[in-house]
Structure 1
């Protein structure tokens, strides 16, 4: 894999050109209770210099829409538009339709179903050795935010959230719920009029097979791959370049989003992650147009930036 310090000037210029208009719909900038390498404004400046069209900040504990609004108001010269969304974890009250409506009213773009509070995440965490990077803070551990009752029926609170997504045009992302839950929730979401669906990192945590991923893409969802899990130099790497290619080829470049899922301390920056990803995709033989779809167009469409 080609890193930025080993690229020729021609390679770097080619990659920079492909990244004009790029969109990162899943990045962990700060401030956050977890340590972050860049804050939202620093990220916006970094990506603006690189020509990104937009970024969607994600925090597991709060909706970043107010920060995004302030950056847009005070720094109109930035090329990169800053957006955010909300993850339905404990701190925002779990399946809280009021918080989702508020996020939509403040031009939020994505609702993530539970991540660190997902029942599936807590099961995965127990056997993974992973712990929340803010676990030394004086906060209680996450508790499960279930989506279904004891009889397997979707909770009314979840249905309320789906209805808000349908009414406002918010994209619904699967977060860290199990793939089996994602299929059920996405099917119900479509029945209720939700048009924008994102399958969050099938390569890790959520228990998805390649066949699961294809099935969910066939439901109309965009499949979002976290570059943090694939790139050399990322401390979160669990997958190979060959596996990334297999995912892309099975679903197709028209249904694939590459997001950084970076911003944490001690690893690649989101911009470096995108540069490496484009270099990797070029080496794998994808065309400029196919790569632009995966780093720009598909994300722009699913979050409603395409008009």
Structure 2
């Protein structure tokens, strides 16, 4: 089919022929400005381009500030696409801070959907990528830290999505069953195959068996020692073939496809999402499974 895609630096739309059904897709993990990291687009530019490409929805993510209120404003300016946000429980908003979750939810007017556990301030992230000590933990020795139960209870009571962030495999394997026990219905394991968290296939299967979705992000295919973005050179590359093998092993019904794009030197999130679908198709993933992971599954989380 013919699809209109907008890329970085283009003066107009470029027609792309593709058999993959990109229209109506949802990017559950995308970054835009304002941010402390250089971004390719600001919120409005990103939302406008995604709407023009026929996408159904975006979930805006920022490591240092909530995005629910920004999603409200972006949707008012560009009503042709759904826009959602959330809050990442990093140090800039007080870490594991229930008040930050409550405030995000109230400000979001129904567009604050996701509560991500710590990312760049997670102890696992710092130790794995920065070789630093310290950082935030959500569980220790198989038990939640004291701040976590009330946060999970709030997520459950308000039908929000729990994103696992950059915490360790051991923490994820503690948090997911605890969240389920406390009534959290919607869980998405953030870029499950990336260096952080660093889950193996057996761990991913165990998590999927508990009803959590596993996120795969296109940006991880661009990482590694040859990455354009210097910060991404310390991450391991995750190949399309490895992602396809995981999908075929665990089943597409357990996965959500996102880009995690938005860096100034990376492809545009819109182009990147299309490339992600095309490359997975070339690796043997069926069109039906691609639709499930790019449309149906993320839509379930946003309902």
TM-score normalised according to structure 1 size = 0.85
Report 1:171-210 matches (<5 A): 171-204=161-194, 205-210=196-201
CA deviation vs aligned residue, 1:90-113 (integer Å, no higher than 9, x gap):
001011111112222322111110
- The answer as to whether partners of 1:119 and 1:144 remain within 8 angstroms in 2 is yes
Which residue of structure 2 aligns with residue 250 of structure 1?
Answer: 249
Which residue of structure 1 aligns with residue 11 of structure 2?
Answer: none
* Distance in 2 of aligned mates of 1:33 and 1:290: 36
Q: Following TM superposition, by how much is the alpha carbon of 1:288 offset from its aligned partner in structure 2, in angstroms?
A: 2.2
The runs of at least 4 aligned residues of structure 1 exceeding 4 Å deviation read 231-234
CA RMSD between the two structures: 2.3
From 104, 115, 119, the counterpart of 1:115: 119
Aligned length, in residue pairs: 280
Which residue of structure 1 aligns with residue 219 of structure 2?
Answer: 228
* Distance in 1 of aligned mates of 2:261 and 2:54: 18
Change (3 A) 1:285 1:153: closer
Structure 1 gap ranges (5+): 128-140
SS at match of 1:166: helix
* Distance in 1 of aligned mates of 2:227 and 2:262: 11
Which residue of structure 2 aligns with residue 46 of structure 1?
Answer: 49
Which residue of structure 1 aligns with residue 298 of structure 2?
Answer: 299
* Distance in 1 of aligned mates of 2:19 and 2:39: 29
- The answer as to whether partners of 1:19 and 1:52 remain within 8 angstroms in 2 is yes
From 13, 17, 28, the counterpart of 1:12: 17
* Distance in 1 of aligned mates of 2:15 and 2:46: 25
- The answer as to whether partners of 1:86 and 1:112 remain within 8 angstroms in 2 is yes
CA deviation vs aligned residue, 1:53-73 (integer Å, no higher than 9, x gap):
100000001111111111222
* Distance in 1 of aligned mates of 2:237 and 2:172: 22
Q: Following TM superposition, by how much is the alpha carbon of 1:217 offset from its aligned partner in structure 2, in angstroms?
A: 0.8
Q: Is residue 162 of structure 1 aligned with residue 163 of structure 2?
A: no
CA deviation vs aligned residue, 1:207-237 (integer Å, no higher than 9, x gap):
2111111111111011101111125996447
Q: Following TM superposition, by how much is the alpha carbon of 1:144 offset from its aligned partner in structure 2, in angstroms?
A: 1.2
TM-score normalised according to structure 2 size = 0.86
Q: Following TM superposition, by how much is the alpha carbon of 1:29 offset from its aligned partner in structure 2, in angstroms?
A: 1.0
* Distance in 1 of aligned mates of 2:258 and 2:22: 13
Change (3 A) 1:143 1:34: farther
Change (3 A) 1:113 1:147: same
Change (3 A) 1:301 1:156: same
* Distance in 2 of aligned mates of 1:234 and 1:51: 29
From 59, 62, 68, the counterpart of 1:59: 62
SS at match of 2:29: strand
SS at match of 2:17: helix
Which residue of structure 1 aligns with residue 10 of structure 2?
Answer: none
- The answer as to whether partners of 2:142 and 2:174 remain within 8 angstroms in 1 is no
Structure 2 gap ranges (5+): 8-13
Q: Following TM superposition, by how much is the alpha carbon of 1:13 offset from its aligned partner in structure 2, in angstroms?
A: 4.2
SS at match of 1:101: helix
Q: Following TM superposition, by how much is the alpha carbon of 1:203 offset from its aligned partner in structure 2, in angstroms?
A: 1.6
Larger RCO, structures 1/2 (Cα 8 Å, 6+ apart)? 1
